[in-house]
Amino acid sequence: MLHLIVLGIVSLALLPTEASSLTRRSGRGGCDKSHRPGFSSNHKLESGGRNRLYAVNVPDNYNDCDQAKWPLIIDYHGNRGNPKQQWNNSLYYKYPQGQEYLVVYPQGVNGSWQGPTYAVAGVDDLQFTTDLVVRLQEEYCIDTNRLYASGKSNGGGFVDTLACSDHGDQFAAFAIAAAALYTDTSKGSCTKKRAILESHGLADATIPYHPNGKSGAGGPLPGIDEWVSWWAYRNCGDLYSESARSFSGYNKTMYSCNGLEDVVQHYQVFDLGHCWPNSRSDNYDASSALDQSKRKCLNRSLDFTPVVLNFFSRWTIERARQLERRSAADLGRSVALNIHHVGDCM
């Protein structure tokens, strides 16, 4: 296997110099509807013969941008969790860049997502996700070129399941933290090519970074470093370049190929437990109401949410589909053009 080891960061030439405007609305679907800004829960949707619930966080200036379509993040909570917890975990709404996205928080049946043995049998969360996207397009003004999925723990594992399925074809990129990867335990268990970002704590006792053959609560688990290498291979085959950087408290590894930079990114956080990394210790995982001596979520070395938002801003569905192509020349011409940052409405 040929691995080209490249130390460094992404060339500044690939970074946008000014923010682009939101995509103009077409006047169809939910683009003619106004919505109250902020968090609202208990939205209902029938899927697979079940009444499903989800919450929505509407950006503060959503109604000011009547000519704009909004990128969408669907953010999945962990096992036994709920939308409000995940809203307080990823905290997208607290970041200026996060206010450039409509963020939706689905509710798992009995608090879990399909994949592990503890999930409710017969629940099809992949179909629920597709049904949810259809509903959201009916109710909100969505930019279908910029759909993203994120999640933590069981929710992160489900995002990986989504990435490995045809239901994930409509998403441009995927980001997960402390992922419980029960459905992806071998290189050949997934054949998709996806833009993947993952963070994981070395002190995670729930989903160990190195499980060493031991199963988790929902079944067998892969080693995280091995799983990351599988995604590099799935996207690039043998000819990928790997770059690594060390920071205070964590390591960052990136994989690139065919003219596309950092298709797979991984953050290994040294003294972090089963957590969504947060540099201010103000999210749900770092709550003082939880036993932090066991959770180990007070590590402040990495703020994962802006990392996720920056990763998402670089990917559109058009760029993601180019992972299927093999011409480095064709891919290289489009890299800079397909990096997006949402800016003002006008």
Say if 344 falls within a structural domain.
Answer: no
Catalogue the long-range contacts made by 242-251 (C-beta closer than 8 Å, 24 or more residues apart): 242/3, 242/4, 242/5, 242/6, 243/5, 243/6, 243/7, 243/8, 243/9, 244/7, 245/7, 245/8, 245/9, 247/301, 247/302, 248/301, 249/299, 249/300, 249/301, 249/302, 250/301, 250/302
Whether residue 330 is predicted with pLDDT greater than 50 in this model: the reply is: no
CATH of the domain at 217: 3.40.50.1820
Letter for the amino acid at 135?
A: R
Say if 343 falls within a structural domain.
Answer: no
Whether residue 296 is predicted with pLDDT greater than 60 in this model: the reply is: yes
pLDDT at 335: 38
pLDDT per residue over 206-246, tens digit each?
Answer: 999 999 999 999 999 999 999 999 999 999 998 899 999 99
Say if 195 falls within a structural domain.
Answer: yes
pLDDT per residue over 153-172, tens digit each?
Answer: 999 999 999 999 999 999 99
Mean pLDDT computed over every residue of the chain: 89
Residue pair 67/37 in contact by the 8 Å Cβ criterion: no
Say if 147 falls within a structural domain.
Answer: yes
Average pLDDT over residues 116-122: 99
Residue whose tokens read 């589909």 = 321
The Cα–Cα gap between 149 and 138 comes to: 19
The Cα–Cα gap between 244 and 251 comes to: 7
Average pLDDT over residues 297-315: 98
Say if 345 falls within a structural domain.
Answer: no
Whether residue 20 is predicted with pLDDT greater than 60 in this model: the reply is: no
Whether residue 13 is predicted with pLDDT greater than 80 in this model: the reply is: no
Whether residue 132 is predicted with pLDDT greater than 80 in this model: the reply is: yes
Say if 316 falls within a structural domain.
Answer: yes
Check residues 41 and 17 and name the one with the higher pLDDT. Answer: 41
Whether residue 203 is predicted with pLDDT greater than 80 in this model: the reply is: yes
The Cα–Cα gap between 89 and 276 comes to: 7
- State percent of the chain over pLDDT 90: 82
Whether residue 251 is predicted with pLDDT greater than 60 in this model: the reply is: yes
- State percent of the chain over pLDDT 70: 85
Domain of 123 in residue numbering reads as: 3-338
Residue pair 173/311 in contact by the 8 Å Cβ criterion: yes
Average pLDDT over residues 307-321: 97
Number of domains the chain contains: 1
pLDDT at 71: 98
- If you ran DSSP here, which 8-state letter would residue 323 be given? G
CB neighbour class for 236 (10 Å; exposed up to 12, middle 13-18, buried from 19): buried
Say if 167 falls within a structural domain.
Answer: yes
Say if 346 falls within a structural domain.
Answer: no
pLDDT at 337: 35
Letter for the amino acid at 258?
A: N
pLDDT per residue over 44-88, tens digit each?
Answer: 999 999 999 999 999 999 999 776 999 999 999 999 999 999 999
Both tokens assigned to 46: 């029938």
pLDDT at 345: 57
